A and B are shown apart, each in its own frame.
Chain A
Amino acid sequence: MAGAFSFKGCQKIRGPQIRNLLEAKDFFLFDCDGVIWHGENAITGAAKVVNALVRHGKNVVFVTNNSTRPRENYVHKFSRLGFADVMLEQIFSSSYCSALYLRDVVKICGQVFVIGCEGLRRELQEAGIPCLEETDDPDATIYDCALAADVKAVLVGHDDKLTFLKLAKASCYLKDPDCLFLATDNDPWHPLSSGRILPGCGSLMAALEVASGRKATVIGKPSRFMFECISSQFKGLDPSQCLMVGDRLETDMLFGFNCGLDTMLTLTGVSQMEDAQEYRNSDLSTNHSLVPDYVVDTIADFLPAFEELEEESN
């Protein structure tokens, strides 16, 4: 097996190397934005790749820090974009995993103060987690807003309706050391398909960390928790059988490293080869954890390897 991986080490692989990798791994984890699609457009060849992996008996799951949509939306999106039969159980979003964390790890008894979108609230509600109702009291100010009694966790996600009042309320709840402080992810910004960027959950989390003097527990990549959710669902999952494919060094590659997975950077998204090389050449050894094992220009680079495999079996 060692010979097959002599090409490990932040370099582009193609053809026979990809084929060896595809044969050696049986569990593929894909990030979505910048890997599978850009907004409403699938990456050329992505659907073929995923369909082929499944046809060859591989397990495929999707691991995304995007907390804005419920998983059902992703199922519909996959279907719309030509991916055959992607099921709810294959989708692991940071909002879904936040709900699992609260329900199964924390076993929360009490309410959650949520700073986030409707998509996040829905995942929590579906898991039976009580969320504080958003009261739009127009007269409430930061000096006299009402606080609920049994808030046992503050969960911050992407929230385009964030206000100062929400930050103030959250920091009041966080004064209680028994109130948990969770964040769906710590991405400082995220890219749109146009190439522009928007503020991410990480910036909101940073504001609240400063306000409360506390550090949030991050659910999404690069934290291990989403992999633990995947492992609970797919019993007997062996990290050495896995390949994590993503486009962002600071989230996807670090996530893979933290979970003991081989990592592949695809260049259709945020991070570029130069970024990976900078981390590799860094004096700070912790930066080496962000360096991918393998690099491809696009996941469509898998297709020739499948064509070969299929030719051989004919």
Chain B
Amino acid sequence: MSGSKCARLQGDLLQQLLDSVDSILFDCDGVIWRGDQVIPGAPQVINLLKQHGKKVFFLTNNSTKTRRMYADKMSTLGFDVTEQEVFGTAYGCAVFLQTACRLQGQKVFLMGSQAMRQELEAVGIQQTGVGPDHVSGGPGDWANVPLDPEVKAVVVGFDQDFSYMKLNRALQYLIQKDCLFVGTNRDTRLPLEGGRAVPGTGCLLQAVETAAQRQAQTVGKPSPFMFDCLASQFGVERERCLMVGDRLDTDILLGSNCGLKTLLTLTGVSTLQDVAGHEESGCAERRRMVPDFYVESIADLLPALQG
């Protein structure tokens, strides 16, 4: 099959692919749902895959929910899922800080959601900073904002309470060279129904990185960290694993980088035109964003599962 990239997945090809994999990883936003609306057919696909003996996991860059919250949302929408099967960046970030950064029992400055706070506390990491942070006083006060001496890292995820004051606090911590700097992901927008553009974590992270003139390490796709967590927890074989996503620069790139088969679904961000652009570019990195297969929607998998 050399050279036949981004083939439409149907018929015999679909059956062959399903037979060749034991584990299937799904992105969430734009793949199984959009906001609170399920992609038609998605619950059936997931549930049938499991009935056919496949392992099914969810790998999302969204940091606004804990694994528990994702499992609850999925149950409500008709997906048969346990929380251990879900890897969101709130959880991923907590694991990263615990294992790679060895911050268990320590404290971080968090620009992020309550979900992130919960996942951090679940691994024994305390936080300061979550919630609204309104400006008061003047520039002299802001530069002298009191810093908690126990803070060992600045952690950035999606934060609806993002403000100049929070950005300032993060900057003051990061001026200390030994303060670590971790972000959940770089997605530029958070998808919702209706197509309204809501700035994603990538924007907030860029603001902090620019002010501090430092780069964060990120945990989410396309970084392999969460896949590596998942693979080691569940003994997943890369060659027999399929990544299904809607974004070429996160889902498909992750899949390529980890040696997985990749499937693009067109119910989200990326288009076939985007694929063509990467395919025709001379750039090796861009060509890694070309998926092996595509479908209009994951419901296109149903014919092979319902027979």
0 or 1 for each of A99-128: is its CB under 8 Å from B? (1 = yes)? 000000000000000000000000000000
Supply 5 further A-B pairs (C-beta < 8 A) apart from A203-B167, A203-B207: A142-B160, A143-B192, A163-B162, A164-B163, A196-B172
0 or 1 for each of A33-47: is its CB under 8 Å from B? (1 = yes)? 000000000000000
Which positions 179-237 of chain A face chain B at CB distance < 8 Å? Answer: 188-189, 192, 194, 196-200, 202-204, 206-213
The yes or no answer to A171 lying at the interface (CB within 8 A) is yes
The 8 closest A-B pairs by CB, nearest first: A196-B143, A211-B199, A199-B211, A207-B207, A203-B211, A203-B210, A206-B210, A162-B164
Size band of the interface chain A makes with B: 20 to 34
Which one of B47-55, B134-142, B235-243, B275-283 is at the interface?
A: B134-142
| CB-defined contacts of B175 to chain A, threshold 8 Å | 197
Give the docked Cα–Cα distance between A204 and B203 (Å).
9
The yes or no answer to A131 lying at the interface (CB within 8 A) is no
Size band of the interface chain B makes with A: 35 or more
Q: Given known contacts A163-B163, A189-B171, A197-B175, is B199 in contact with A168 (CB within 8 Å)?
A: yes
The yes or no answer to B259 lying at the interface (CB within 8 A) is no
Q: Is the CB of B161 within 8 A of A164?
A: yes
The yes or no answer to B100 lying at the interface (CB within 8 A) is no
The yes or no answer to B131 lying at the interface (CB within 8 A) is no
Smallest beta-carbon distance B96→chain A, Å:
22
Q: Is the CB of B164 within 8 A of A207?
A: no
0 or 1 for each of B154-169: is its CB under 8 Å from A? (1 = yes)? 0000011111110110
0 or 1 for each of B126-154: is its CB under 8 Å from A? (1 = yes)? 00000000010001101110000000000
Q: Is the CB of A161 within 8 A of B135?
A: yes
Chain B contact surface mostly:
helix
The yes or no answer to A167 lying at the interface (CB within 8 A) is yes
Hey, which bits of chain B sit against chain A, CB under 8 A?
Answer: 135, 139-140, 142-144, 159-165, 167-168, 171-172, 175, 188-189, 192, 196-200, 202-204, 206-213
| CB-defined contacts of B162 to chain A, threshold 8 Å | 162-164, 167
Q: Which residue of B lies closest to A147 (CB)?
A: B196
Give the docked Cα–Cα distance between A98 and B184 (Å).
35
Give the docked Cα–Cα distance between A175 and B142 (Å).
33
| CB-defined contacts of B142 to chain A, threshold 8 Å | 160, 198
Set B143, B165, B206: member contacting A197, Cβ < 8 A: B143
A-B CB pair tally, cutoff 8 Å: 106
Q: Which residue of A lies closest to B213 (CB)?
A: A188
Q: Which residue of B lies closest to A199 (CB)?
A: B211
Give the docked Cα–Cα distance between A163 and B134 (Å).
9
Smallest beta-carbon distance A171→chain B, Å:
5
| CB-defined contacts of B202 to chain A, threshold 8 Å | 210
Hey, which bits of chain A sit against chain B, CB under 8 A?
Answer: 141-143, 159-164, 167-168, 171-172, 175, 188-189, 192, 194, 196-200, 202-204, 206-213
Q: Is the CB of A172 within 8 A of B143?
A: no
Q: Is the CB of B198 within 8 A of A206?
A: no
Smallest beta-carbon distance A196→chain B, Å:
4
Smallest beta-carbon distance A207→chain B, Å:
4
| CB-defined contacts of B188 to chain A, threshold 8 Å | 210-211, 213
Set A194, A198, A204, A211: member contacting B189, Cβ < 8 A: A211
Q: Which residue of A lies closest to B137 (CB)?
A: A160
Q: Which residue of B lies closest to A159 (CB)?
A: B164
Q: Is the CB of B171 within 8 A of A207?
A: no
Residue from A142, A159, A160 with most neighbouring chain B CB atoms (10 Å): A160
Q: Given known contacts A161-B135, A192-B139, A210-B203, is B189 in contact with A199 (CB within 8 Å)?
A: no
Give the docked Cα–Cα distance between A117 and B127 (Å).
31
Q: Given known contacts A143-B196, A211-B188, is B140 in contact with A194 (CB within 8 Å)?
A: yes
Q: Is the CB of A210 within 8 A of B211?
A: no
Q: Is the CB of A206 within 8 A of B207?
A: yes
